[in-house]
Amino acid sequence: MLAKSSCETIYYYTGAVIDTRYVLQDFLGEGGMACVYRARELHAPHPYAIKFLKSTFSNNTELLGHFGREAQNMKNLAHPNIVRFYDFVHHEDYAYIVMDYIDGFSLSAVLKKLRQREEQLPIDEAVRILIQVARGIDKIHRANFIHRDIKPGNILIEKQDGTAYVADLGIMIDLHDENLLSLAAGTRAYMPPEQQIGERADRTADIYAFGIVAFELFAGQRPFTAKKELKREEAENDLIRQHFESPVPSVLPFRSELPAALDPVLAKALAKKPADRYQDVLEFARDIHAVMSPHLSQDLQDFSEIRAIKPTDIYYVEPGTVTVAPPRQSSVSLVLGILILGLGLIVLSWVISTANNNVTLNATASAVAAVLLQTPSATATPSLTATLTFTPTYTLTFTPSPTSSPTFTPSLTATLTQTPSVTPTASPTATLTPTSTASLTPTLTPTPTDTATITPTPTATSTFTPVATTSIDGASLLPLVSGQSALGLEPNAPLTLVPDVSRPLIRLNVGIVNGFRVAATFSEITSQTRRYGVAYRIQDNRNYLLFTINPSEHRWQLEQIINGQAAQLDSGATAEDGLNTVIVSGQHDFFRIEVGATAVQHTNDRWSVGGLGLWLEGSETVTLDALSVSLLGTDALSPLDVLRTNALAMQATGDIVNNTIDCPAYIPLYVGLSSYLNIATLAQKTQQLIDVGQLVYLRCQAESPDAALSFSGSLRDFLNWQTGLARIIEELASDD
């Protein structure tokens, strides 16, 4: 049994109740700076892993900063292939992180057991793991971070379905922090040359490390290994030299059934110079899949559909029985068997610790180990080494602070080159009226729409007050959010859009509005940008209006997307110049789009309110010179009504009967609240809404960002959210 003296204090120990919420059930293991327990929430069955900073470090500012940074990084990166985060709590005498309990094992343990048995990881399983991990890394990169320590020890495999998770985000850094990009941190065997000597690292450093992992999964060993007879320092220097000088060996001698086309793919990922490597981790993963496709089973032929293995395809182990899957043995079941039949199955929560020590883990008395080993318990101590270099603390705020960036309002020309055949007519506007229930009750109030006359107005000021500062076509204009805040970026971060072939729609942090004005100026549009523009009246990622420009053809297109299906409403030619700036204004059912000397106007009454977003299709990152969003018309005059509308919409995402939250609808509404902190008269109520909704937001992001989330196991949280939100809505209704 493991000694636990350094991991037992008056605050945390097996059986302790933490903050009247979590019961510590089992001690899982420890690293150089942390202790990990398996826990459950009081009166709820969901298992968690709780990671405590060791008591000896409770007053160490540097380690507390590292521990808090790890939690912050996890919170901001909710993804199915990244270890899920729930909470970070810092008390005066102890601090802890609450995260998902991964019932499985590390990839390094899998590889170690395979080497001991002189066996190879099945090709199907290697590809399945690599693609899942690539998706997790891609999420990190799209959030403008780099991990810096991608390796098998930081990849966890869930034993029931084979889901792969990227773990250990403690030394991950922001790509915008130039002070940290050149700090050496990571594990020597997986670090690219520039990271080995502390030069500036970028996303390709993670791709290089991921390339080492890919080589190891296919070959059974890393491409560069130090000679065993060398002493520690000499071995380290020899390993560094190989990363700088040695060519990437062919993977074929290690495994005859591998295709020759795999060699150049791995060689590109492991290029010595960052510019010669893959620049996109998913491109690397797709190339692996393409060359390996003829050797993969039928269920792995579609790259986009590759997921973890279904539970029906793996071993089921009940006390006294072992059930085997159909004749074609699943690779996860083989891996599971390999781990079980050796020293025993490690039931591993997220115990990968960012320290220079080997991590010692205890094995649980699982039915799996008891049946297959015929012994009540087993202890395993795999070596999971993680090298850490502590770096200065930096903080990512959960709610972006208001910025003082001036609202961008370009000079507009009055030349009209395109006028649709329809003209605006009077149409009713849906006004949301709060009720005592959790539903939205629209009250129809006939309101004539604005006229279609185009009369450009002077430049707006940069003030953030609920007083109208400018009018467009007689409609009041109120600046709401601009620059980095509109995209949810840090205040000093570059204003960039990263293309994502699967998600060209980039939501802006504005919640839902009726009257709006979006102005975006793209600094440079190249031939690699296929289409760009603005989406408006967004209901969800499958329903909205979209205006885009095809720069190579000098054409614009207006579309209505319903249930993911696009229907073209209108199209036309653009002028040769001035295509970098797109301005979209709308109120009720009337919309106007301006691009240089081109102006397009149309009516559409399908949705009375909705969100806003930018659209980008292409292969290169695009920088924005300016971005601003303003409320227009009645919304500008009564921003309190807009906040109330958003609060009611948040409330409507909750199903009182089934105790569920519609997370895809809730997340953008919650994120959009930060914009209303810029308006002084709304700041207090907005902060209250943010505080009340934070737990629901975190759980939605971590557990179910794309589907409804049940709170049946934590009914108290659901009721607290519902009660708190109803109270704020009632107060908003009574405010002037």
pLDDT tens for 629-687 read 999 988 888 888 889 889 999 999 998 888 899 999 999 999 889 888 878 888 888 99
The pair of structure tokens assigned to 336 is: 């599971």
Q: 177 in a domain, yes or no?
A: yes
Query: In angstroms, rounded to a whole number, what is the distance separating the alpha carbons of residues 350 and 353?
Result: 8
- My answer on whether 85 and 140 are in the same domain is no
Which 8-state DSSP code applies to residue 710? E
Query: In angstroms, rounded to a whole number, what is the distance separating the alpha carbons of residues 60 and 62?
Result: 6
604, 637, 670 - which closes a domain: 637
Spatial neighbors of 251 by CB under 8 A, at least 6 apart, are 215, 218, 219, 258, 262, 263, 266
Q: 256 in a domain, yes or no?
A: yes
- My answer on whether 59 and 75 are in the same domain is yes
Question: Within 10 Å of residue 5's Cβ, how many Cβ atoms?
Answer: 6
- Tokens 């205006």 correspond to 547
- My answer on whether 58 and 139 are in the same domain is no
Q: 373 in a domain, yes or no?
A: no
Query: In angstroms, rounded to a whole number, what is the distance separating the alpha carbons of residues 22 and 40?
Result: 6
> Looking only at Cα atoms, what is the longest distance across the chain?
86
Which 8-state DSSP code applies to residue 610? B
The pair of structure tokens assigned to 370 is: 């008891």
637, 668, 688 - which closes a domain: 637
Query: In angstroms, rounded to a whole number, what is the distance separating the alpha carbons of residues 438 and 330?
Result: 46
Q: How many domains does the chain have?
A: 4
- My answer on whether 609 and 464 are in the same domain is yes
Look at residue 363 in the predicted model and tell me its pLDDT: 29
| Closest of 131, 138, 132, 164 to residue 289, by C-alpha | 131
- My answer on whether 70 and 215 are in the same domain is no
Single-letter code of the amino acid located at 664: P
Question: Within 10 Å of residue 670's Cβ, how many Cβ atoms?
Answer: 24
Q: 368 in a domain, yes or no?
A: no
Look at residue 169 in the predicted model and tell me its pLDDT: 67
- My answer on whether 617 and 486 are in the same domain is yes
Look at residue 175 in the predicted model and tell me its pLDDT: 52
**The CATH number of the domain where 549 resides is what?**
2.60.120.560
Q: 137 in a domain, yes or no?
A: yes
310, 332, 354 - which closes a domain: 310
Query: Helix, strand or coil for residue 563?
Result: coil
Look at residue 446 in the predicted model and tell me its pLDDT: 35
The pair of structure tokens assigned to 5 is: 């003296």
Query: In angstroms, rounded to a whole number, what is the distance separating the alpha carbons of residues 96 and 106?
Result: 22
Could you write out the three-class secondary structure of 530-550? EEEEEEEEEEECCEEEEEEEE
- My answer on whether 93 and 125 are in the same domain is no
Q: 415 in a domain, yes or no?
A: no
Question: Within 10 Å of residue 54's Cβ, how many Cβ atoms?
Answer: 21
**The CATH number of the domain where 36 resides is what?**
3.30.200.20
Look at residue 71 in the predicted model and tell me its pLDDT: 66
Q: Is the dihedral of CA 54, 58, 63, 65 positive or negative?
A: positive
Look at residue 474 in the predicted model and tell me its pLDDT: 73
Question: Could you list the mean pLDDT of each consecutive 10-residue stretch along the chain, which spans 736 residues?
Answer: 67 91 88 83 82 78 67 70 82 86 88 90 94 93 86 89 81 48 66 85 93 96 88 86 93 94 97 95 96 93 76 31 28 41 35 34 27 31 32 31 35 34 36 35 35 34 36 76 84 81 86 92 82 93 93 91 92 80 91 88 91 89 89 85 90 87 91 86 89 89 86 82 89 76
**The CATH number of the domain where 248 resides is what?**
1.10.510.10
Question: Within 10 Å of residue 13's Cβ, how many Cβ atoms?
Answer: 14
Could you write out the three-class secondary structure of 76-142? CCCCCCECCEEEEEECCCCEEEEEECCCEEEHHHHHHHHHHHCCCCCHHHHHHHHHHHHHHHHHHHH
- My answer on whether 490 and 605 are in the same domain is yes
Question: Could you tell me the residue range of the domain that residue 38 belongs to?
Answer: 5-100
Which 8-state DSSP code applies to residue 370? H
Q: What is the value of pTM for the model shown?
A: 0.47
- My answer on whether 680 and 596 are in the same domain is no
- My answer on whether 433 and 493 are in the same domain is yes
Query: In angstroms, rounded to a whole number, what is the distance separating the alpha carbons of residues 575 and 379?
Result: 72
- My answer on whether 569 and 646 are in the same domain is no
Helices 203-219, 107-117: inter-axial angle, 10-degree rounding: 30
Query: Helix, strand or coil for residue 602?
Result: strand
Q: 114 in a domain, yes or no?
A: no
- My answer on whether 149 and 284 are in the same domain is yes
Query: In angstroms, rounded to a whole number, what is the distance separating the alpha carbons of residues 436 and 364?
Result: 50
CA 190 to chain centre: 24
371-375 CB contacts, 8 Å cutoff, 24+ apart: 371/317, 371/319, 371/320, 371/321, 371/322, 372/317, 372/322, 372/340, 372/341, 373/340, 373/344
Q: Cβ(722)–Cβ(728) under 8 Å?
A: no
| Closest of 721, 631, 732, 617 to residue 672, by C-alpha | 631
Measured between alpha carbons, how far is residue 346 from residues 168, 364, 413, 689, 717 in Å?
A: 18, 7, 68, 42, 32
Q: 411 in a domain, yes or no?
A: no
Look at residue 731 in the predicted model and tell me its pLDDT: 87
Look at residue 185 in the predicted model and tell me its pLDDT: 57
Query: In angstroms, rounded to a whole number, what is the distance separating the alpha carbons of residues 451 and 508?
Result: 27
Helices 663-672, 639-652: inter-axial angle, 10-degree rounding: 160
Spatial neighbors of 455 by CB under 8 A, at least 6 apart, are 414, 472, 473
At residue 82's C-alpha, the angle toward residues 66 and 129, to 5°, is 130
